[in-house]
Amino acid sequence: MTTLHKYFFVGIVLFLGLGIIYFRPVSSPLATAQLRPNNVESLERHWAENWIQFSYSPGMGGYDSELEVTPFDLFVNTQIALMKSPMILKSVVENPAIARLPNIQKQVDPTQWIASKLMIEGALSNTKKSEIYIISFESLDPKEAEMLVNAVVDSYMSYYQIQQRQQEQTLQKSLIESKTNHEALLHQLKQQLPKDFNPQIPPDINTARILTQIEQELRAIDQISERLIRLEISRGTASRVRVLQRASAQHLVPIQ
């Protein structure tokens, strides 16, 4: 092969190589970013988590064979259903800050959309019981996730506390009325005792019957008084539902 032929061959190889490099598809980081609506980080989805404790009460023991659930499980399931209900979520979407969120504005039914994306599950596996539950919300926008999950929990806690106070007031009123009735009956029974009644002397049949009724009324009054004391003490203690940790932008969990 002559020298001219060698230069000609080398020239063809260089031409083809430069053509491949020049015409290959662009795959630089900058070009890749331009092909996407946003950068990679903006496509990460995030969880915003809120931790809640549903406290177990000794009075909630036992098992209901008809419902096939323990009273505590029934209580927790009711609270979870309540948290996703329109009566809770309606006040969430009526919050001006929430109403301005883009994802809320484009929903036909914002409450249903929030309920469908709101996750509520035990902190432990399904095979283990725990009082701790995690309420979480998923979103492309970390701040939106934080705002929505906190708004849901705030709305639920406000509703729960109002209902709890109303139930306590209703129970207290009922107990006081019942105690008043027993005390009135006790007074009537004491009036029926013979004026010459002497507890040291064995009573006749009629007096013995009255004494038995008096004893029953005294026992009922003591039981009601004890319940009123417990009710008053419970008002100063922690609620059966407590928020342990609110979601914040610094504690969001990126979804892998």
Beta strands in the chain (DSSP E): 46-54, 118-122, 132-139, 241-245, 253-254
- Of 222 and 30, more confident: 222
How confident is the model at residue 223, as a pLDDT? Answer: 94
Percent over 70 (pLDDT), the chain: 71
Give pLDDT, residue 247: 82
How many other C-beta atoms are found inside a 10 Å radius of the C-beta of residue 218? 14
Are 117 and 138 spatial neighbours (Cβ–Cβ below 8 Å)?
A: yes
pLDDT at 182: 93
For 6-50, how does the pLDDT look when each residue is reduced to its tens digit (9 = 90+)? 445 545 544 445 454 444 443 333 222 232 334 434 457 777 888
Per DSSP, 107 falls in state -
Cβ contact 131:54 at 8 Å: yes
How much is the pLDDT for 236?
56
Over range 223-227, report the average pLDDT. 92
Per-residue pLDDT tens for 84-136?
Answer: 999 999 999 999 999 999 999 999 999 999 999 999 988 876 556 778 888 99
Judged by average pLDDT, the poorest of 39-48, 136-145, 201-210 is 39-48
Tell me, what's the pLDDT at 17?
Answer: 52
- Give pLDDT, residue 36: 31
Per-residue pLDDT of 58-91, as tens digits, reads: 544 444 445 456 777 888 888 999 999 999 999 9
Nearest CA among 186, 239, 242 for reference residue 212: 186
pTM, entire model = 0.66
From 14, 35, 17, 18, select the one nearest 26 (Cα to Cα): 35
Neighbouring residues of 63: CB distance < 8 A, sequence distance ≥ 6: 69, 70
Q: What is the pLDDT of residue 82?
A: 92
At residue 50, the pLDDT reads 84
| More confident position, 194 or 65 | 194
Q: What value does the mean pLDDT of the chain take?
A: 77
Whole-angstrom distance, CA of residue 226 vs CA of residue 220: 10
Output the pLDDT for position 256: 59
